[in-house]
Structure 1
Amino acid sequence: MNEPVASETYAAQLRRLAELTARVGEQRGEAHTWYERQCAAAERAVTDAGEQVQHAEVELVEAREQQERVDAEVAHLWQQVRTRLGARRLGGPPAPANSGGTTDAVALLTRARDLLDRAGQPGELPGSVNPLLALCGVGGAVFAYALGAGARALGVGYGGDLAVGMPVLALVVTLFGPLVGLAPARVLADRRHAVLGPRPIIVVIGAGLVTTALLLALGR
């Protein structure tokens, strides 16, 4: 038969059971606290990841928009290059170079645009075209003198008031002869994509004045 347990042993067992229960409660509380912390950390991680995904999506949209703007600007600049160089047979714009580093496309486009603007600005006519400019002046003076001579002949032929007015008109037309040469000189400058500056104008008018003076002297 089982012997009765002493009261002191029973009390000790109760105390030990209470201690174990308290310890289990503490460990369970710690486990709950750890679990709640882990859940909170996981929720924060999910929230942060969602914000990063949203930020990445916004950056992706902005990058696509910038790419479209860059592609459109590249196509526009390439079309200007083809037009100014007269290279109609050139294909599409060159593919972007893989430099292996970060490159600011906007800065590169700005540099390309500035370079194209400088290249597209008309320059001065070279000194080698001075004979052609002088020929424009001579041709303008001869043309104006011929018109004047025709006007004088018309006045002589019809007589009357025309015989008085036509010589005056002929003289005015002849005196404007040096300026007539500026028209073909302008065409020459436009074909060479240059400006008709002071030096070319002086050459044209000077040659026209000399020619007009010679023609008036010979016509007396």
Structure 2
Amino acid sequence: MNVPVASETYAAQIRRLAELTARVAAQRAEAHAWYAQQCAAAERAVTGAAEQVRRAESEAAEARDLVERVDAETAHLWEELRTRVRSGGRRLGDPPGPAREATGDPVSRLRGVRDLLDRIRQRGELPGSANPLLVCCGIGGSLVAYALGMGARALGHGSSGDLAVGMPVLALVSTLLGPLVGLAPARLLADRRHAVLAPRAITVVVAAGLAATVLLLTLAPR
């Protein structure tokens, strides 16, 4: 037989049930909030990781482009250096590989190498020690021109008509141009020494050639 429950006890049970229900609802809400926070944190972490991956891929692509540019510039500069060394009578092998412990910006280092090669490419004047060779160039050019003039004059003497008239004129022109003929070997000498044929060197060659020409004309038989 059921025993009736006192109203105070029933009311207390109802209050307790309501408290438990509210507590469960609060815990459920707290669990949902925690879950939402964890999901948001996970999404932020995934987004951040994706951004880091994208940034890393971009940096890797830039690094590859930089390596390709550095390799291409290195090969170009090495080829210029090889050409410069080859012109000096020496040979240069393949470019060296990258140093494992190298530090610093490779672009600035290549810029320094490029500036150095530019300074090397700037030709200077022939030194004063080359003056004897320049004098020899002037004298040699005059001797060659005088010899050609003598040959033309001899050919004119053994001919008749227009040839007899034109050959002495050609011989005179060849002899007078003798001081300038030495500029050709002097230019080769300057190129060999990676220098320019400056006005001073030209003056030495022409003066020596002119003196030799005057001396040859003075000593020539009448």
The answer to whether the superposition gives a TM-score over 0.5 is: yes
Cα deviation, 1:191-212, whole Å, max 9, x if unaligned, reads 1111111111110001011111
CA distance in 2, matches of 1:60, 1:35: 37
| Other-structure match for 2:60 | 60
Deviates more, 1:112-121 or 1:88-97: 88-97
Q: Check if 1:50 corresponds to 2:50.
A: yes
| Other-structure match for 1:119 | 120
AA matched with 2:75:
A
AA matched with 2:130:
V
CA distance in 1, matches of 2:36, 2:51: 22
| Other-structure match for 1:29 | 29
Q: Check if 1:175 corresponds to 2:176.
A: yes
- What is the aligned-residue identity percentage? 68
| Other-structure match for 1:163 | 164
With the length of structure 1 as denominator, give the TM-score of the two structures.
0.91
State the 1:161 CA deviation.
3.0
| Other-structure match for 1:197 | 198
CA distance in 1, matches of 2:92, 2:115: 24
Cα deviation, 1:10-55, whole Å, max 9, x if unaligned, reads 1012112101211210121121011111101111210121121122
| Other-structure match for 1:9 | 9
State the 1:82 CA deviation.
2.5
| Other-structure match for 2:155 | 154
| Other-structure match for 2:93 | 90
Q: Check if 1:213 corresponds to 2:214.
A: yes
Q: SS at the partner of 1:158? A: coil
Q: Do the aligned partners of 2:149 and 2:170 also contact (CA within 8 Å) in 1?
A: yes
State the 1:113 CA deviation.
1.1
Q: Check if 1:142 corresponds to 2:143.
A: yes
Q: Could you list the runs of 5+ residues in structure 1 that have no partner in the other structure?
A: none
Q: Do the aligned partners of 1:142 and 1:212 also contact (CA within 8 Å) in 2?
A: yes
Q: SS at the partner of 1:95? A: coil
With the length of structure 2 as denominator, give the TM-score of the two structures.
0.90
* Alpha-carbon RMSD: 1.9
Q: Do the aligned partners of 1:141 and 1:208 also contact (CA within 8 Å) in 2?
A: yes
Matched residue pairs, number? 218
Pair 1:159–1:140, CA change in 2 (3 A):
same
Cα deviation, 1:131-188, whole Å, max 9, x if unaligned, reads 1100110111111111111111111111333332222221111111001000111111
